[in-house]
Every structure is written in structure tokens, then in C-alpha cells.
Chain A
Amino acid sequence: AQKVTQAQTEISVVEKEDVTLDCVYETRDTTYYLFWYKQPPSGELVFLIRRNSFDEQNEISGRYSWNFQKSTSSFNFTITASQVVDSAVYFCALSGSTDSWGKLQFGAGTQVVVTP
């Protein structure tokens, strides 16, 4: 069975501070896909990034960056210089390729609150 753990339930920061969201996953698949989604107060989930298990290259996209480490089964997400519009719930998710095929498993989510 696969599992995604987001240990942080809520993170509160002041605008312009950096925020790092932790995600630890478990899977028996050798090929799998990891995702981050954002859910703003409006409710609709927005896709942020996808990584497959063979691509450990970390990436920076604007103020967002991701750190994928297979050795520790972690896929952490950082917002640099946070803004009020970053306030949302962020979900890490895992999709396997064999017995868990098609089942996108989500973590419990981390609420990010950015205050001016």
C-alpha cells in the first residue's frame, strides 16, 4: 500500500518569509509519480508540479522550488518570499504504477497562512 505523510498541519508566516512544506511518501512501486497541488480558499485544486521517480532533478520555478530525494522518500516544496496570495492548503500526492495504478494518494494537506 502507498502512503503520503504531511506532518505539518499549519504553517503561519509573515509576508516575504520562506516556507518549506514537507512530504514523505511510502510505496513499493519502482515507478511512481509525485505531485503538489494547491487549494486556495475558493476550493478548486490547482496543479503545481509533477515528478516521476526517475527524475530527481530539483527545480526552481519563479518563487517555487522542489526538493525530491528518493533516498529519504521525500518530496519537499518551498515558497520563497511568500505573498498573501500563497495562503492556501497544499497537498502532496503519489500515483503508483502497479497494484496502486490509477489511485492518486493524497496527504492530509498543510495549511499555509501568510499575513501582511
Chain B
Amino acid sequence: DVKVTQSSRYLVKRTGEKVFLECVQDMDHENMFWYRQDPGLGLRLIYFSYDVKMKEKGDIPEGYSVSREKKERFSLILESASTNQTSMYLCASSPNHEEKLFFGSGTQLSVL
């Protein structure tokens, strides 16, 4: 069974901390994505990657960076967490842009 695994289901951090959200997929997919989900706003794309070491900005990249050193792993980094980054973060992967996304179960991040 295909799997996208996010390292934490719940995370609580303090303002100013550096935060790493990890995502691993076992399907050998080329594309990986980070979205954040907020009530009334749906899912908004933060960054995506279509190959190792490649990254593209999504719609709301400010305050975030990403790393993709290996094909199966895509990390989202909050350099200095702020309260407005409290959200549900969803990682996804797909074989290409025509195909469906496979989602992880999400990380609920609270920044205090």
C-alpha cells in the first residue's frame, strides 16, 4: 500500500524557534508538495519539488523554506516560527502533474 508519512501528528513550538517538518514517501514519486490548511481557505501550496534538489515556490512561500536531498524525503523548514504559522500542514506526492496526489495524515502545528 502506498504511503506518505509525516513525522509528527501534533507539534507545539514557541515563537522564534526553528521548526522542521519531515515527509517521506515510499512510491518513488517525482513530485512532492507542502500545503497548509486553514479553515475557510482550503489548502494553499507553500512549496513543491519535481526532482531531487529542485524546488518551486507555491502561493505562500514567505517564512518557509524546503529541502529535498533525497527523492523520498521533502522537508519543510520554518526558520523562525511565528504565531500566524499555526496551521495544519499537509505533505503530498505524485508521479507527475497529471496524476492524483497522495497525502500524508498531516501535522497540526501550534506556535505559542
Contacts and interface: CB of A to CB of B under 8 A. Distances in A.
A4 B41 CA distance: 11
A103 B45 CA distance: 7
A51 to B, nearest CB: 11
Contacts of B25: none
B74 interface: no
A70 interface: no
Interface string B95-112: 001111111111000000
Given A43-B105, A102-B48, A103-B58, A91 B42 contact: yes
Interface of B: 31, 33, 35, 40-45, 48, 50, 56, 58-59, 88, 90, 92, 97-106
Interface of A: 4, 6, 9, 33, 35, 37, 42-45, 47, 50, 52, 91, 93, 95, 97, 101-109
